[in-house]
Amino acid sequence: MEYGTGLHVTETNIPGLLVLHLPVHGDNRGWFKENWQREKMMALGLPDFRPVQNNVSYNRHAGTTRGIHAEPWDKLVSVAHGRIFGAWVDLRAGESFGTTFTLQLDPSTAVFVPYGVGNSFQTLEDHTAYSYLVNDHWSQEHQQHYTFLNLADESAAIAWPISLDNAELSEKDKLHPRLADVSPMKPLRTLVIGANGQVGKALRRRFVDRADVNFHSREHLDLEDHDAVLAYDWSAYSTIINAAAYTAVDAAESQEGRRRAWSVNAAAPGVLARVAVEHQLTLIHLSSDYVFDGDTPVHDESEPFSPLGVYGQSKAAGDLAVQSLPRHYILRTSWVVGDGTNFVKTMMRLAENGVSPSVVEDQFGRLAFADDIARAIDHLLATRAAFGTYNVSCDGKSASWAELAGAVYSLCGKDPTMVTGVSTAEYSKNTSAAPRPRHGTLNIAKIVATGFVPSNMHQALVDYVTRIRSQEASKDTH
């Protein structure tokens, strides 16, 4: 055993399987080590897997062999006394399926084993004990999610120090299947809530080929039914994408609308945050430029909240709940356009009907197309970008609502001067319109720095209008 070496982490040929080299401090009395030190180990690249249960395996004789078991949780394995030979086989679906790694462990070594990687241990000394921290509580139901591999599998070809013929094995372990007969461990799933909204529909298109993504509308999971959300079986999930929201900005100022806005936009994210903490999940949540009063021409992620109306206030409250999570992404968007009711479609309809609308000319911002938002969500998850809040919208010069309306009219072959620009005060006179931020332009430098490439707003608008007009023309010919 080595004494006094520095704490460090090395990667292996199995993705996510990490070897930790632990300082062991010894003297005439024995030795001491920090077996689990969250802050130091995270700084070296160990995931923040937040263990909830500690198990100890005592083995009376050398040659005691257990495995190969792939389990539905992450674990950190370390030796308390003696030495063990560890063998790991990736049993997750994917390119690394069947990859093998082996290592001898003593008290100065630990191994982080991610979900779905099969692990097996053979003791090399009598009276060996090893422990493992896991990030879920064991239950009888968990066993149906295990995947097993035979210790003697020829494909893995593990060079056991003590022949399996002379080792102590359980009868169950002897009967596990060979690799060719193993069903790969299913990946943890992602649940999209609000799947029938504009962003929800874009996520359906984005993840159409992903068997590990589920979609729920309000009929499947009503976020306002907190008991149902808390009772939902989250054991098979790693990620929640909350694309549900109450977006009726003007109606939110009414008594009933105020209640709905706070229920969906504030209370529901709070419940999802609780779920995410209890089940170690990543929560992705959509926010809005309406959390700001709009006095600042361009908003970055660090700007303090200053919402003007009930809708913005409820969205800000939801953001605060989600921000409390260690693993979260908040995507702050503006002027969302997708499949559903939105400003661009409304202007297209008015243009086709020959209407000359009055449109606000003193509110400025950039569109955020739902497909771009879905792409941004996919990007942040795939690249494992740092958790936190990211502004997401199109790139390019910002514009007023009136300027965008004129652009839509032009794209529809209509005279853009049919659109009359008016002030917010004039437009809202004698109405119950909610207050809106004058400036909704978002600084998107932070997400761009992660490698995300936003669409140019003006080109995206051309593409969107062209696609919608083509779809409508196709309907007319059938």
Helix axes 310-323, 255-262, angle to 10 degrees: 10
* Other Cβ atoms within 10 Å of 89 Cβ, number: 27
For residue 1, name the pLDDT band (cuts at 50, 70, 90). low
Spell out where 60-144 has E strands.
65-70, 75-81, 84-90, 100-105, 109-113, 117-123, 128-134
Our answer to whether residue 137 is catalytic in this structure is: no
Considering 130, 132, 311, 329, which one is annotated as catalytic?
Answer: 132
Query: What's the pLDDT tens digit per position in 357-382?
Result: 999 999 999 999 999 999 999 999 99
For residue 217, name the pLDDT band (cuts at 50, 70, 90). very high
Q: Comparing 78-87, 122-131, 140-149, 323-332, which segment has the lowest mean pLDDT?
A: 140-149
pLDDT at 143 (0 to 100): 63
* 3-class state of residue 172 by DSSP: helix
pLDDT at 144 (0 to 100): 65
DSSP 8-state class, residue 177: P
The residue among 83, 43, 88 whose CA lies nearest residue 67 is: 88
Query: What's the pLDDT tens digit per position in 222-251?
Result: 999 999 999 998 988 999 999 999 999 999
Q: Comparing 47-51, 71-75, 95-99, 117-121, which segment has the lowest mean pLDDT?
A: 47-51
For residue 146, name the pLDDT band (cuts at 50, 70, 90). confident
pLDDT at 280 (0 to 100): 87
How is domain 189-476 classified at the architecture level of CATH? 3-Layer(aba) Sandwich (3.40)
| Across 46-63, average pLDDT | 93
The share of the chain scoring above pLDDT 90, in percent, equals 87
pLDDT at 433 (0 to 100): 87
Query: What's the pLDDT tens digit per position in 340-356?
Result: 999 999 999 999 999 99
pLDDT at 4 (0 to 100): 55
The residue among 110, 48, 83, 65 whose CA lies nearest residue 277 is: 48
For residue 6, name the pLDDT band (cuts at 50, 70, 90). confident
* Other Cβ atoms within 10 Å of 376 Cβ, number: 25
pLDDT at 210 (0 to 100): 92
DSSP 8-state class, residue 394: -
pLDDT at 142 (0 to 100): 59
d(CA 115, CA 34): 24
Query: What's the pLDDT tens digit per position in 190-202?
Result: 999 999 999 999 9
Query: What's the pLDDT tens digit per position in 14-31?
Result: 999 999 999 998 888 889
The share of the chain scoring above pLDDT 70, in percent, equals 97
d(CA 123, CA 104): 10
For residue 49, name the pLDDT band (cuts at 50, 70, 90). confident
**pLDDT score of 447 more than 60:** yes
End-to-end C-alpha distance for the chain, whole angstroms: 78
For residue 3, name the pLDDT band (cuts at 50, 70, 90). low
pLDDT at 161 (0 to 100): 98
Average pLDDT in the chain:
94
Query: What's the pLDDT tens digit per position in 64-85?
Result: 999 999 998 999 999 999 999 9
pLDDT at 432 (0 to 100): 82
pLDDT at 471 (0 to 100): 86
d(CA 430, CA 91): 65
Please state the domain extents for the chain: 8-181, 189-476
Q: Which amino acid is at 56?
A: V
pLDDT at 335 (0 to 100): 96
pLDDT at 388 (0 to 100): 96
Considering 8, 21, 25, 69, which one is annotated as catalytic?
Answer: 69
pLDDT at 2 (0 to 100): 54
| Across 91-116, average pLDDT | 95
Q: Comparing 25-29, 40-44, 155-159, 326-330, which segment has the lowest mean pLDDT?
A: 25-29
Our answer to whether residue 69 is catalytic in this structure is: yes
Query: What's the pLDDT tens digit per position in 418-441?
Result: 999 999 999 988 888 899 999 999
pLDDT at 477 (0 to 100): 67
How is domain 8-181 classified at the architecture level of CATH? Sandwich (2.60)
* 3-class state of residue 205 by DSSP: helix
More reliable by pLDDT, 144 or 288:
288
d(CA 212, CA 187): 7
| Across 168-175, average pLDDT | 95
